[in-house]
Structure 1
Amino acid sequence: MSYITRILFLLGIAATIFGVMESMLAFNGTSEPEEVTLTALGQPDGTDNVHLTITDFEYGEGVVFEEKKNGDWNQIWIPLVLPGETWTERPIVANTSAVKNEADLERLVQRRSLTGVVTNISKGLGGEKKKQFNMMYPDVNLDEALVFQVDRRFPSLLFTIPLTLVGVVLLLVAAGITFGFFKHKEKPSTEHQMDSGSAWAEESDNSEENINHRSEDRNN
């Protein structure tokens, strides 16, 4: 497989997966965020809309950090809870990559409402994060926890569907190159055509010579 073909495969796979995941989010939400209280969202039969503005909540004390090599925070996960740090029946965990340090975290916890997208379709809490939260909240079952990505832009089908199609086309092109579907058929060589023409010419000349011989025989 050539270098260019590998790049086409990688780009095609990335575009297709990202496009499908984003499309699924778009199909499961509304263009305008639905406003919902944490209590309502935390019910087992709470809204299935992934584009939300959550109100009437508090922030949990336990925070999980993902750090960069330089010590800055790459992203954080923080529980959204009821008064008394009581978890809802369906746990809600906010996630953001905009909080880089303590000052950013302080500004976040001052917000009384959060708008964003529930990303479980493409990005759940993950086993490692569950373990970290279980150390702080051993009595909370996070298997069905909703991950709410704060300030995430809601995807548009006008972007996600064409992106998915581009990914599929790239995969088809890469596959076609790999399996030789785009190879040109070889045309007959000029030398072969000329030889064929010469053979016909010789045959024609021999025919004329035979006719002349027959005429001479009749005259004799």
Structure 2
Amino acid sequence: MPADGTPADGTPVAAGYRSDTGHHYEVAESDVVFTGRIIRLRRDIVRMPDGVVSQRDVVMHPGAVGVVALDETGQVVMVNQYRHPVRRALWELPAGILDVPGERLATAAARELAEEAHLTAARWDLLVDVLASPGMTDEAYRVFLARDLAVIPPSQRHVGVHEEADMRTQRVDLDEAVTGVLSGSITNAMAVIGILAVATARAGGFASLRAADVPWPDRPAPAG
């Protein structure tokens, strides 16, 4: 169960939250008002600590994983993908939503790396966990660091569809990627966070990395 008390399937519940200072936020009503292909919209009526009732609209998201794939020369694997809401292609990390029931997080990350970048990795570490925009959505994503990369033979590669059909990949020196973040040429949030996080981790000799399978409070561990 996520930290807010909502079940893994996103079913709204009459739940609440009590802060460290004793303030109580009670969910008086909760209804799903829209269901799309990936997201749902939940309307919560919340009683605040001062007794005032207010509406909060929550975009419910299944969560996602992303991969900073760092090769032996210090280059990061980037993918270029069209994103319809902003009407342009963005440089991003290999990534995808958690849409396979029971799939473990590191397995999902490895699948996305194989499908989008045609790579496997022998070494996996946890880089960073992110709440995307907690003022409006429960979307959370976990970014892994993948190293010891190997190229998948062309005959065994996944064939992309939709936005992935014309996806391009490119390896970028990590320092150049950091420059791209700071100059505004890399703006995808996961890519910005992942690139800056791995640059920071590298500066510390990667000593700060966590194991790839540590618990994730914002998403429950899948069964099996």
The bucket for the TM-score relative to the shorter chain is under 0.3
TM-score when scaled to structure 2? 0.24
Q: Relative contact order (alpha carbons < 8 A, sep ≥ 6): 1 or 2 greater?
A: 1
**Structure showing the higher strand proportion among its residues:** 2
**Structure showing the higher helix proportion among its residues:** 1
Larger radius of gyration between Structure 1 and Structure 2: 1
